[in-house]
Structure 1
Amino acid sequence: MDYTEQHKKRLSAMPWLYYRLKPKHLTWARPWQEDIQQTLMALETVTIGKNVFIAPSAQIFAEPGRDIIIGDNSYIAGDATLHGPIRIGSHVSINHHATLDGGSAGIDIADHCRLAAYSHLYAFNHGLAAGRPICEQPVTSQGIRLERDVWLGSHCGVTDGVTLHEGAVAGMSCVVTRDVAPYTIVAGNPARPIDQREA
């Protein structure tokens, strides 16, 4: 029985396993990834580093001027949706069903960041003035920045204009509406500091 298709599904849901594959599985997995990535780079303004994994069900949209850059040894799991401009560092994990929209100012994700399943980052916002529908309001974009070694828990949301500084952690289902200091753990809606990471 050929388990290759089942392995592809497993890797798409849990892409960290790609980096633990035995040589016999790499004989099909590497060409599979090469094909996915070459096709993506031909269709979108995407730059992909070395040893990257991108699930075939990931939705990656990068029109000219909305480039997406993916650093070495990073992975994007199944059903994640990315719309540039987005700059992703090295050793970054974006897990399944995460949604990132760079607006016009962009999303910057530094090395070693972890974005858990269903996390969502929107680097834009609509005006809220009364007297006209939301769809007619002006759109603003300040950008979002995740510094090195930031971890976003499952279902965490990050709003436009926020920086999570080095080593920050945002708990499951929190909504981060303001900057988070280095090595600070936040939780809740809106997210508030609850602890510090200790060395």
Structure 2
Amino acid sequence: MTEPDPLLKYREQHKHRLNYMPWLYWSLKPKNRGWAEAWQKEYQDYLMAMETVEIGRNCFISPLAHIFAEPGRKITIGDNSFIAADCTLHGPLEIGSEVAINHHCILDGGRAGIKLHDQARIAAYCHLYAFDHGMDLAQPVYQQPVRSRGIEIGRDVWLGAHVGVKDGIQIGAHAVVGMNSMVTKNVEARAVVVGNPAGFIRYRD
């Protein structure tokens, strides 16, 4: 029995690393650049053929992410952005340029959609849901009307790991939301907020 080529074994492990640490894609050495770009082109072409997805230049999208964009729920991804492994994205979503969506994030655009402006950083395990159920006791929650107001995340916003954002929220440019926070009210530009529910701490200098 022939042993697997060590180079091919290394390449598979390197793909696995990139799936979870996609920022490394832009620092690949020349010997790895060719196969990595071909791998990404093949997957991104497949994704655009299967879903209503538009992908900009020089992006990295993990094949281990789950991306769903039916007609009317388009997902657009700007240049130089990445989506890591085990994310679940459901349109409508508008993702700007140089946006980072780290592993295990969930973004569901509901009907109104989610917009991430340029350079937004979404850390691992963040959950953004642009819809909500009613809670009238007259009927079970699953039978309640569903509303969708949308979510907007401003330019250069940083959501720390395990942050939740509820429907109808706007987070202003350059704001920071601390790890494990739940955002239930709009956040001003440059504000730093933490907690559940997230509260103002200070302004970013």
Return the TM-score normalized by structure 2.
0.96
Query: After superposition, what is the alpha-carbon deviation per residue over 1:7-43, rounded to whole angstroms, capped at 9, x for unaligned?
Result: 0000000000000001110111001000110000000
Q: Deviations over 1:107-131 (max 9, x none)?
A: 0000000000000100000000012
2:181 is aligned with 1:135: no
Bigger Rg, structure 1 or 2: 2
Aligned length: 198
Map of 1:117-156 to 2, 5 A cutoff?
117-156=124-163
**What is the distance in 1 between the residues matched to 2:157 and 2:19?**
23
Quote the residue 1:47 is aligned against.
54
Structure 1's unaligned 5+ residue stretches are none
Aligned position for 2:11:
4
Between the aligned partners of 1:56 and 1:182, the Cα distance in structure 2 is 34
Deviation string, structure 1 residues 71-107 (Cα, Å, up to 9, x no partner): 0000000001100000000000000000000000000
The 1-side partners of 2:112 and 2:97 are apart by: 21
Aligned to 1:22: 29
Question: How far apart, in 2, do the equivalents of 1:161 and 1:151 lie?
Answer: 18
- Per the alignment, residue 118 of structure 2 pairs with 111
Structure 2 CA distance for aligned equivalents of residues 123 and 36 of structure 1: 27
Q: 1:181 maps to which residue?
A: 188
1:48 alignment partner AA: I
Q: Which residue of 2 aligns with 1:66?
A: 73
Partners of 1:128 and 1:27 in 2: how far apart? 53
Determine the C-alpha separation between the residues in 2 that align with 1:20 and 1:195: 35
Partner SS for 1:40 = helix
Q: Which runs of 5+ in 2 are unaligned?
A: 1-5
How far off its partner does 1:56 sit? 0.8
Match of 1:190 among 175, 197, 202: 197
Which residue pairs with 1:172 in the alignment?
A: 179
In 2, Cα distance between equivalents of 1:143 and 1:27 = 39
CA distance in 2, matches of 1:131, 1:61: 33
Distance 1:78 1:23 in 2: 24
Which residue of 89, 95, 98 corresponds with 1:88?
A: 95
How far 1:195 sits from its partner (Å)?
1.6
Q: Distance in 2 between matches of 1:27 and 1:132?
A: 57
What does the per-residue CA deviation read over 1:38-59, in whole Å, with 9 as the maximum and x for residues that have no partner?
0000000000000000011000
Letter in 1 for 2:144: Q
Structure 2 distance, partners of 1:139, 1:23, is 50
- TM-score, normalization: structure 1? 0.99
Measured in 1, the distance between the counterparts of 2:182 and 2:151 equals: 13
1:196 Cα deviation (Å)?
Answer: 1.2
